[in-house]
Every structure is written in structure tokens, then in C-alpha cells.
Amino acid sequence: MSNNSSLVVVGAQWGDEGKGKVIDHLAVKADIVARFQGGNNAGHTVVYGANIFKLHHVPSGILNKDTLCLLGNGMVVNPLVLMEEMSELEKRGIDTSNLRISSKAHLILAYHEVLDEANEKMLGEKKIGTTGRGIGPAYADKALRRGIRAVELTDFSRFKKRLAEVLPLQNRFLQEIFDHPGYELEELAEKYRLAVEKLGPLVKDISLILNQGLAEKKRVLFEGAQGALLDIDHGTYPYVTSSSTVAAAAASGTGLGPQRLGQVLGVMKAYTTRVGEGPFPSEDVTEAGDQLRERGNEFGTTTGRPRRCGWFDAVIARYAAMINGLTGLALTKLDVLSGMEIVKIAVAYRCNGKEIRNFPSSIEELKLCEPVYETFPGWDEDISRVRSLDGFPTAAKDYIKALENSVGVKVDLLSVGPDRAQTIICPGSNLSNWFIEK
Ligand code: GDP
Ligand code: IMO
Ligand code: MG
């Protein structure tokens, strides 16, 4: 590992690849875990024993009591939801005193949630299928320079003054376009009084904390949310989220120079899922897709929506590897494929009679693409108790090899179940250094 002290973990498909699980596993060796984009559209699940945690804002490192958890400037934070999330964790005995929020993170306020829903309604059949958490409107306000930043949470009168500046325009949109009554300043500000009191003291200069931490050789993990194909620039626009989900955003989303980012681990499921609308070439709408959904329990962590399921797509995986500079893969949910008669990998697309290997940059072209599959024999063995590469049935080993070859990146970590313990670090991989004592 070239830079032993930081590691970026990103989703390399359409989200829900198992980032929470992977981060939790790696966090035992991290001093700091930082989120750098997205908000509570994320739903990251961590399981150990009978404990299941679903995290939305809070980094998945929070379960390690000494790990400092940072919410970076690239994030959008809903103060009310964050407060609730922290209090739920506290109730379950998880200490959240190690959480810090960037003063430059933008706030998701009540009107953003209303606008998200109203926008979707207006789009009708062309809706994005957002999580309805106000993500798009909050990022739009940031870009339009009328957002409210977390620094305003440090003082209630300051927060209220800023709200008074931006609310009249928000109300006009709500009332004149969306037929909503709008918000009264006093009432809306009061809704956030407690959040100002509780979260204000956690607002800090995250960039400074991280830069100082790295100078002191602290180990930093960056926790991506969503996935490469949901990236605002590189994803299947407009069916994307509103932030930059690729590894490079870990630098700008926390206030760090790009040379400080180390290895980049791309999390991929051994098949593909997508929640929400938009093209998905390897989607399987037959019984096989239903089998993947049932066996993989593919229902959204944030919204509970059934996830669309299909086969592993090496075209998107190669693309994700390129735009992220992936140095390794974390391959999750391999156990879900046990019992499938055959398993398939989309190695290319056929588009207008031509075979293409690169991901098309136009969504119109993508919509015309049919996957070209390579088919492999399945395996019946339950692999959820396997803890070393040797323990896999030959068919599973062959599938992993074929997948690595089709993506051109090696698997560093294998996951065979939701639990922390159901994880294999591939011997000799880049990741083995992460587990060496400092
Ligand atoms: P994230 O958003 O990338 O953190 O992923 P989610 O938590 O939204 O979705 C992944 C789901 O798969 C969660 O329910 C995890 O507990 C579960 N999971 C993660 N890894 C594995 C695995 O290797 N096998 C199985 N069966 N489940 C897994
Ligand atoms: P994690 O971090 C899967 C999808 C939504 C929708 C699109 C835009 O758990 O992997 P948004 O609310 O962001 O404006 O919705 O992005 N989406 C996700 N899909 N996992 C996520 O997060 C997602 N966050 C957003 O379903 O298609
Ligand atoms: Mg998720």
C-alpha cells in the first residue's frame, strides 16, 4: 500500500453495495472515518451478531468507540434527522461524542424535503425516484448560493437571521409553483432551536482536523455514499443523485489535497442492483431477478423500496474502476449466488448492431444497449461460513477469477454475509497492510 494512512471506500455500482459493512470491518484500524458527500439519502447497514444498525448521516466507524467520525463539507445534513439518529444510537449504548460536523456542510431544511417531493410529482412518469430526503434541493441551494451552512448552527440568532434572508424566496417557490402554504419564520426557526443547541458544539473545521490528523500519521478512512453510476457528472444523468460520489470527491468534500488520498477500494456486489428509475442494462426481470431480490433481501435501507436486480455488469465495473482509479475491489454478497443454476457476467454491450466494451457517455445510447453475457456454472454450497479463499467451491473461485479478469482489478476483500465476521481479506492484497499494527 503506497499510502498506508488513508483509504477511500466508494460504491462502484448504483449504491447499496455493502459500503457500511466494509467500512465497519476496516474501521477497527482507523483513527478517523469521514463522510464526504451525500446526506441521509444514504442507508448503510452494519451487522454484528444480533445487532443491526442502519446509518444515514453518521459514518459507519461510529461503532468503534475511539474512532473520530467526521461529516465533511461536501455533505448535506438534515439537523433534525441527525439529532434523531444520534439519539437512537445513544439509546443503544453507542457513544456519539466523537462526531464532528464541518462548518461548511450545507443544511437540509423542511422546505427542501417538500420541494424534493413536489419536483418528483411534477416530473410524473419521468420522475427520478429520489429518496425524498431533500438532497437535490439542498445541493441546488448550495450551488445557487442561497444555502444555510452548518456554521449557522453555532448560534440560534445567527441561524434565524440567515433563515430570514432565504425564506421569502423559498416561500414564493412553494406558494406560487407548488401550491404549498410555505413557512412562517418564527415557527420554522423554533423547529431547529434544539438542533442548534445540540449540534452547534459539534461544528468544527474538519479540514484542519483531517490535515493535522494525517500529519500525525493517523489512519483515515473515507466513506463514500451512493455509487459511481449515481454520480452527478459520471452517472446515468439525470437518474443520479446530486453529489460527486467518486473517490476524488473525498479530497474536495473534506478539504484535503488529492495527494493525501491513498488506496481506493471499490465496493461491488457479486451481482447488480438499482433502486429508483433510470437505465440498468443487466437488469433481470425474470424469475432469476426475483430470486436475487429474495435471497439478497434487496429492499432499500432508507426507503424500504424493492431494489431492481440483475447480473454483474463488467462494463459499468470497468467504468467505475476508471473514474475512481480503483486499486482494489471489495466483492460483497457472493453468498447470495449460492443455489443459482447459472451465474452471468455482462462483459460487453450490443448497441445498434455493434459490440461495445466502454460505458456509453450518452444515456440515450445506454438505453439501446443489450448486455452480452458470459455464463458460468453456479454452485449449491452454502459459502456463508467460508473464511478463506481455499474454502470456496471451484465454481465460486472460477466466478471470482472471471469477474476480476473482466474488470481488470483484483479483489482485496470478499464478503459472504452481512455480519462483520463474514469477511475475508485476500492474502497478499493491498488491504493486508491496513491490518498490520502501526
Ligand atoms: P450500503 O448502502 O452500500 O452500505 O449498503 P446497504 O446497507 O444499503 O445494503 C447492503 C445490504 O446487504 C445490507 O442489508 C447489508 O447488511 C447486506 N450485506 C452486506 N454484505 C453482505 C454479504 O456479503 N452478504 C449478504 N447476504 N448480505 C450482505
Ligand atoms: P447508499 O449510500 C441506492 C438513488 C435514489 C434515486 C437517486 C436520486 O445507501 O448506497 P436522491 O434522494 O439522492 O436525490 O435520489 O439516487 N439513491 C440511492 N440508491 N443507495 C443510495 O445510497 C442512494 N442514495 C440515493 O434511489 O434513484
Ligand atoms: Mg444503502
For residues 138 and 108, the answer to whether their CB atoms sit within 8 Å is yes
Neighbours of 172 (CB within 10 A): 11
Ligand 1 atom 1 nearest Cα: 16
Q: Give, rounded to a whole angstrom, the gap between the first and last alpha carbons of the chain.
A: 13
User: Distance from the CA of 353 to the center of ligand 3, in angstroms?
Assistant: 36
Q: Which whole-number Å values give the CA distances from 206 to 62, 190, 192, 214, in the listed order?
A: 16, 27, 23, 12
Give Cβ neighbours of residue 288 (< 8 Å, ≥ 6 apart). 340
Rounded CA-CA distance 280/371 in Å is: 10
Which helix (DSSP H) or strand (DSSP E) does residue 168 occupy?
Answer: helix 156-172
Ramachandran angles phi, psi of 80, nearest 5°: -70, -40
Closest CA to 324 of 207, 229, 430, 206: 229
Report in angstroms the alpha-carbon separations of 194 from 80, 156, 191, 280: 9, 9, 8, 43
By DSSP bridging, strand 328-332 and strand 342-351 are: unpaired
- The segment(s) of the chain belonging to CATH 3.90.170.10 are 6-97+205-436
Which superfamily, per CATH, for 106-202? Adenylosuccinate Synthetase, subunit A, domain 2 (1.10.300.10)
Pocket around ligand 1: residues whose beta carbon is below 6 Å from it? Answer: 11, 15-21, 43-45, 47, 301, 332-333, 335-336, 415-418
> What pLDDT was estimated at residue 438?
60
Question: Which ligand has its closest atom nearest to the C-alpha of 232?
Answer: 2
* pLDDT at residue number 4: 62
Q: Please, which contacts does 171-177 make with residues 24 or more away whose CB atoms are closer than 8 Å?
A: 171/111, 173/115, 174/111, 174/114, 174/115, 174/118, 177/118
Query: For the CA atoms of 342, 313, 416, 299, what is the dihedral angle to 10 degrees?
Result: -100
Q: Is 112 a catalytic residue?
A: no
What gap in Å lies between CA 83 and CA 367, rounded to an integer?
A: 41
Q: If you compute the radius of gyration of the chain from its CA atoms, what whole number of angstroms results?
A: 22
Helix or strand (DSSP H, E) at 292: helix 287-295
| 8 A C-beta contact, residue 72 and residue 34 | yes
The reported pTM is 0.97
Q: 6-97+205-436: CATH homologous superfamily? A: Adenylosuccinate Synthetase, subunit A, domain 3 (3.90.170.10)
**Catalytic one among 25, 44, 106, 234?**
44
Q: Is 284 one of the annotated active-site residues of the chain?
A: no
Which part of the chain has CATH 1.10.300.10? 106-202
Q: Tell me, in angstroms, the distance from the centre of ligand 2 to residue 61's CA.
A: 21
* pLDDT per residue rounded down to tens, the chain (438 residues): 445 689 999 999 999 999 999 999 999 999 999 999 999 999 999 999 999 999 999 999 999 989 999 999 999 999 999 999 999 999 999 999 999 999 999 999 999 999 999 999 999 999 999 999 999 999 999 999 999 999 999 999 999 999 999 999 999 999 999 999 999 999 999 999 999 999 999 999 999 999 999 999 999 999 999 999 999 999 999 999 999 999 999 999 999 999 999 999 999 999 999 999 999 999 999 999 999 999 999 998 778 889 999 999 999 999 999 999 999 999 999 999 999 999 999 999 999 999 999 999 999 999 999 999 999 999 999 999 999 999 999 999 999 999 999 999 999 999 999 999 999 999 888 898 888 866
Q: What is the pLDDT of residue 2?
A: 47
Ligand 1 centroid to residue 413 C-alpha, Å: 14
Residue of 221, 293, 332, 392 with the most ligand 1 atoms within 8 Å of its CB, for mutation? 332
Residue length of the chain? 438
Query: Cα(240)–Cα(232) distance, rounded to whole angstroms?
Result: 6
CA separation for the pair 416, 157 (Å, rounded): 51
pLDDT score at 303: 81
C-alpha dist (Å) from residue 230 to 227, 237, 273, 325: 5, 8, 12, 17
List all residues whose CB is within 6 A of at least one atom of ligand 2.
11, 15-16, 41-44, 128-131, 133, 135-136, 225-227, 230, 241-242, 275-276, 301
The secondary element (H helix, E strand) that includes residue 52 is strand 51-55
Q: Which ligand places an atom closest to the C-alpha of 415?
A: 1
Q: SS in 3 state form for 199-220?
A: HHHHEECHHHHHHHHHHCCCCE
The C-alpha atoms of residue 362 and residue 373 are separated, in whole angstroms, by: 22
Q: Measured from the CA of 297, which atom of ligand 1 is nearest?
A: 14
416 neighbors 384 (Cβ within 8 angstroms): yes
Ligand 2 centroid to residue 205 C-alpha, Å: 27
Pocket test for ligand 2, best of 131, 141, 229, 308 (most atoms within 8 A of CB): 131
Task: Return phi, psi of residue 319, to 5°.
Answer: -65, -45
Contact 72/205 with Cβ under 8 angstroms? no
CB-based neighbours (< 5 A) of ligand 3, an ion:
16, 43, 301
DSSP code, position 341: S
Residue 68's Cβ-count burial label (10 Å; 0-12, 13-18, 19+) is buried
